[in-house]
């Protein structure tokens, strides 16, 4: 055990630390966090619409569904203004966060990133009228601004900002000696860098379209984005990411933060596709998405530490451990696990290394298999992480009661895995305490 921990500490931990300090990745993580209100508002609209639909079709409450039609229509409007424009908001948030990180004009950074993204998506829409395919030019397909445009927003938003910030920090600006108000001075300072960046991105897109005959956004979607998302649906990939998050957690790092660019770019994109399908009344496309980890493995926080709290309260004989568990129970119910992670502690505690790694892996493997067999709906609604276990999966799976049973089974399995190590921790602490006092001279 000590050799394994030492190897992880020597080879894995330095890589995680370096990733956590890459400013571009930190800005990308913060951008996804910034658009969380958009994600939750759009998902809430889906929940409301699904609830009204379920009341009509499953419960036969036709009068209730008819009375709620205005609320359903409002939900559609909220959807169109939030989730259906997700990539637009992400591009602006990414430019803002990058400008904040590199100490540039934040508003200008957001605008440059957004404009760079807009230049990279197709400006035509394919329509089918009376069985014939028509192309409407000088128009945008709104689906390009939703989940399908996430990778394009990240790539060209970052590239556009990179050109801008190089010019900005290189002081390639208009030097005006007049005493202008701050807002006007900031606009003039960003003028040349912004123009150089946008014309640079425009030139890149022009050359690409000239060579390939297609828009970069379309090419990226079909050549890179969709293959990556499909790769993320593989069982081995899901297990590997779960393992890495847990290893980082053991060393006191926020594994979700370190791997956020990967988790959000691949699995959040898949989740957004599922949410879009659910809003349209269609079958979700993807088996495993970003919310699947939270719903079926990380209840109580990263590592599924609510199971550890339950195991301590049920089986531990030590008053100090039980006190920590009691304090950590209320936050744990809302998926906040810092009190138990650092208070027990779990971080760098060899006794808890195995269950911290194994319990989420078993839960993920079990939930993945159950979902693949069609026994539980895939996650198709984004639910805030503070929603308690059992309730969260029920909502995330679009009111699927089977998700409640799966969540309870996962918690029971995790408690069973944690319990032997709770007994071991008690025994080790009991053996060390007399030894500690024996070294004290009275």
pLDDT digits (tens, 9 = 90+) for 397-439: 888 899 999 999 999 999 999 998 888 888 877 665 554 434 4
Phi, psi (deg, nearest 5) at residue 135: -120, 120
Distance set, CA 366 to CA 181, 264, 380, 418 (Å): 61, 23, 19, 17
Residue 389 lies in a domain: yes
Residue 442 lies in a domain: no
Residue 17 lies in a domain: no
Q: Are residues 257 and 381 in the same domain?
A: yes
pLDDT at 300 over 90: no
Q: Are residues 119 and 246 in the same domain?
A: no
Q: Which domain holds residue 152?
A: 87-222
pLDDT at 58 over 50: yes
Residue 433 lies in a domain: no
DSSP 300: T
Q: Are residues 93 and 70 in the same domain?
A: no
Residue 325 lies in a domain: yes
Q: Are residues 272 and 401 in the same domain?
A: yes
Q: Are residues 253 and 367 in the same domain?
A: yes
Q: Are residues 283 and 310 in the same domain?
A: yes
- Which positions ≥6 away from 93 have C-beta within 8 Å? 30, 31, 32, 34, 35, 110
- Please give the average per-residue pLDDT across 18-24, as a whole number: 72
Contact between residue 164 and residue 102 where contact means Cβ atoms under 8 Å apart: no
Q: Are residues 205 and 153 in the same domain?
A: yes
Q: Are residues 158 and 269 in the same domain?
A: no
pLDDT at 55 over 50: yes
Residue 440 lies in a domain: no
**Domain's final residue, options 51, 81, 111:** 81
Residue 4 lies in a domain: no
Token pair belonging to 68:
């709620």
Q: Are residues 292 and 328 in the same domain?
A: yes
- What is the number of structural domains in the chain? 3
Phi, psi (deg, nearest 5) at residue 125: -130, 130
Least confident of 111-120, 156-165, 193-202, 428-437: 428-437
Q: What is the distance between the alpha carbons of residues 149 and 167, in angstroms, rounded to a whole number? A: 27
Q: Work out the percent of the chain whose per-residue pLDDT is above 70.
A: 86
pLDDT at 133 over 60: yes
């Amino acid at each position: 055990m000590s050799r394994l921990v030492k190897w992880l500490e020597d080879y894995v931990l330095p890589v995680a630390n370096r990733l956590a300090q890459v400013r571009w990745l930190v800005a990308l993580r913060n951008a996804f966090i910034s658009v969380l209100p958009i994600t939750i508002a759009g998902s809430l609209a889906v929940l409301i619409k699904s609830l009204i639909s379920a009341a009509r079709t499953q419960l036969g409450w036709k009068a209730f569904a008819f009375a709620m039609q205005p609320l359903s229509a409002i939900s559609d409007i909220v959807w169109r203004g939030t989730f259906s424009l997700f990539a637009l908001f992400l591009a602006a948030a990414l430019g803002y966060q990058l400008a904040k990180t590199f100490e540039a004009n934040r508003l200008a950074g957001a605008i440059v990133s957004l404009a760079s993204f807009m230049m990279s998506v197709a400006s035509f829409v394919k329509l089918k009228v009376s069985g014939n395919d028509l192309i409407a030019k000088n128009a945008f397909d709104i689906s390009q601004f939703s989940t399908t445009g996430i990778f394009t927003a990240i790539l060209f938003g970052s590239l556009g900002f990179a050109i801008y910030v190089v010019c900005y920090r290189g002081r390639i600006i208009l030097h005006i000696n007049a005493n202008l108000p701050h807002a006007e001075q900031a606009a003039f300072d960003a003028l040349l860098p912004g123009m150089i960046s946008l014309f640079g991105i425009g030139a890149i897109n022009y050359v690409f379209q000239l060579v390939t005959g297609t828009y970069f956004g379309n090419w990226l979607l079909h050549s890179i984005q969709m293959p990556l998302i499909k790769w993320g649906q593989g069982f081995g990939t899901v297990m590997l990411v779960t393992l890495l998050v847990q290893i980082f957690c053991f060393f006191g790092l926020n594994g979700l933060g370190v791997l956020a660019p990967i988790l959000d770019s691949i699995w959040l994109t898949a989740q957004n596709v599922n949410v879009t399908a659910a809003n349209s009344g269609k079958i979700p496309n993807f088996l495993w998405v970003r919310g699947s980890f939270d719903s079926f493995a990380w209840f109580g926080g990263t590592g599924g530490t609510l199971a550890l709290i339950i195991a301590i309260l049920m089986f531990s004989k030590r008053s100090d451990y039980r006190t920590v568990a009691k304090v950590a129970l209320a936050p744990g119910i809302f998926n906040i696990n810092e009190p138990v992670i650092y208070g027990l502690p779990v971080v760098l505690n060899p006794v808890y290394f195995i269950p911290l790694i194994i319990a989420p892996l078993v839960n993920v493997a079990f939930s993945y298999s159950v979902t693949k067999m069609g026994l539980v709906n895939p996650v198709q609604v984004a639910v805030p992480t503070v929603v308690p276990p059992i309730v969260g999966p029920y909502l995330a799976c679009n009111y699927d009661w089977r998700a409640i049973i799966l969540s309870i089974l996962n918690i029971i399995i995790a408690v069973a895995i944690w319990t032997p190590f709770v007994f071991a921790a008690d025994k080790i602490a009991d053996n060390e305490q007399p030894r500690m006092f024996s070294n004290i001279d009275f």
